[in-house]
A and B are shown apart, each in its own frame.
Chain A
Amino acid sequence: DVKVTQSSRYLVKRTGEKVFLECVQDMDHENMFWYRQDPGLGLRLIYFSYDVKMKEKGDIPEGYSVSREKKERFSLILESASTNQTSMYLCGTRQNYGYTFGSGTRLTVV
């Protein structure tokens, strides 16, 4: 089974900072994604990638960018963090039978 690792479990950043969230998978899966999860709103797709250097916007891409230079790594970038980006961020990979998520990064922007 694939293992997905998110580099940080908890992060606290200041408004205006550039923030990098890292996600690494240990298999050769092509599809990777980033969601954010907020109470009452559920999981919302930010970006997904279907191969190296290939990306597609999800439902809420504003204020975010992504980078996929190697197949195993998919990075989410908050160009200028804002308080409304305080959230739980989930990344993972997709297989035919479903998604495998990382443990999540709880980001607080102050």
Chain B
Amino acid sequence: TQLLEQSPQFLSIQEGENLTVYCNSSSVFSSLQWYRQEPGEGPVLLVTVVTGGEVKKLKRLTFQFGDARKDSSLHITAAQPGDTGLYLCAGDSGGSNYKLTFGKGTLLTVNP
């Protein structure tokens, strides 16, 4: 069974601070995805990283895929209250397996 461990589970910071969320596994994934979920809504895809060592930027968000494709990180610079939400990582093992393996999420609260 593939597992994705996310840390921290909860994070409460002040507006303007930086933060990093981690997603780790002992398994290799063909790609890794990050989602953000707001209360009462479904998760929304932020980014997909595919190549080991890949770095993608989405405004103040920076995503990195580990060289061995077993881990990933999400870094937010100068967090804003609008960044508040549940951040989920999900690994795709590829092939004919249609399932994603989800981490349990990091609940981020950015206080004004």
**A residues lining the B interface (CB < 8 Å):** 4, 9, 31, 33, 40-43, 45, 48, 50, 56, 58, 90, 92, 94, 97-104, 106
| CB of B44 within 8 Å of the partner chain | yes
Tell me the B residues contacting A by CB distance below 8 Å.
33, 35, 40-45, 48, 88, 90, 98-100, 102-105
Whether A90 pairs with B48 at a CB distance below 8 angstroms is no
Q: Is the CB of B43 within 8 A of A90?
A: yes
Total A-B contacts with CB atoms under 8 angstroms apart: 50
Q: Are B48 and A97 in contact (CB under 8 A)?
A: yes
> In the complex, are the beta carbons of A99 and B100 less than 8 A apart?
yes
Contacts of B42 in A (CB 8 A): 4, 90, 92, 101-104
A-B pairs with beta carbons under 8 Å apart, 16 shown:
A4-B42, A31-B98, A42-B102, A43-B102, A48-B99, A92-B42, A98-B33, A98-B45, A98-B48, A99-B43, A99-B100, A100-B45, A101-B44, A102-B42, A103-B41, A104-B41
Residue in A31, A33, A41, A101 whose beta carbon sits within 8 Å of that of B43 in the complex: A101
Query: Of all chain A residues, which has the CB nearest B45?
Result: A98
